[in-house]
Amino acid sequence: MTWSAYSSYLILTILVVIAPGPDTVVTLKNAFAGGLRGGMMATFGIAVGNLVQGTLVALGLGTLIVQSQPVFTTIRWAGVVYLCYLGIQALRSAWRGDYATMDAQGADVSAFRRWREGFLSNVTNPKVLALYLSVLPQFLDPVTSTPLHALLLAYTVAVLGAVWLVLLLMFVHRVRAWLQRRRVRRGLDIATGGTLIGFGVSLAAGG
């Protein structure tokens, strides 16, 4: 792999990771409810999910998962259900609107639970796996490339994705006082819930 090829890959990866998707919305959901710490734990979970999916593809196991229709379908529907579940949670928060009580309860939510939300939302999204499978081969020479080259490309996605989400969290933290206003918070919860359910429906329809 040449530096020129890797530079091109970096540009493509940056464009991919800054595009809003389920990872972004799940991170923001946890940041709104759990503050900077909650968002960071969700980001960490998403990063681990990316590492898992990237490793599977780099080692050749991702292709086997995609080609095994029962396994791929199970992962896809697990992702559909989980994204819709998270979306309904956000809509319920908007419906209740009692953010003082919910914030007090949210402070007691374990770091692992927020990590788990990020991890499960990512690892049950087969579109991430499909993205690795479609992009990585374009930057790997089938003759000279090794699994280490594939791992480098895959882990680049995980690292840049995490960096982007952390930057987003820093911005959210700076405007947290404004975001905590009840009207703004309800609007964000409605938008977050609707978006997550929309991603779930899109995943279900994507086949």
Residue reference for tokens 């493509």: 12
Residue-level pLDDT at 141? 78
**183: pLDDT confidence band, cut at 50, 70 and 90?**
confident
Assigned token pair, 147: 């699994």
Is 90 exceeded by the pLDDT of residue 139?
Answer: no
> 38-42, 72-76, 160-164: which range is least confident on average?
72-76
Q: Please give the average per-residue pLDDT across 34-41, as a whole number.
A: 90
3-state helix, strand and coil shares in percent for the chain, rounded to the nearest 5: 85, 0, 15
Is 60 exceeded by the pLDDT of residue 191?
Answer: yes
Would you say the C-alpha torsion 39, 134, 61, 9 has a positive or negative sign?
Answer: negative
How far, in Å, CA of 9 to CA of 4, rounded? 9
The residues near 11 (Cβ < 8 Å, ≥ 6 apart) are none
How far, in Å, CA of 58 to CA of 52, rounded? 10
Residue-level pLDDT at 103? 58
Residue-level pLDDT at 123? 92
Residue-level pLDDT at 3? 77
3-state secondary structure at position 60? coil
Residue-level pLDDT at 202? 87
- Render pLDDT for 102-138 as a digit per residue (tens, 0 to 9): 655 555 577 899 999 999 999 998 888 888 888 888 8
* Crossing angle for the helix pair 147-174 and 22-58, to the nearest 10 degrees: 170
- The residue ranking higher by pLDDT, 24 or 97, is 24
Residue-level pLDDT at 169? 94
What are the angstrom distances between the C-alpha of 151 and each of 4, 28, 157? 18, 28, 10
Is 80 exceeded by the pLDDT of residue 166?
Answer: yes
Would you say 166 and 40 are in contact if contact means Cβ atoms under 8 Å apart?
yes
Residue-level pLDDT at 162? 96
Is 60 exceeded by the pLDDT of residue 206?
Answer: yes
Q: Please give the average per-residue pLDDT across 39-46, as a whole number.
A: 95
Would you say 57 and 154 are in contact if contact means Cβ atoms under 8 Å apart?
yes
Assigned token pair, 196: 């997550």
> Which one of 4-8, 37-41, 96-100 scores highest in mean pLDDT?
37-41
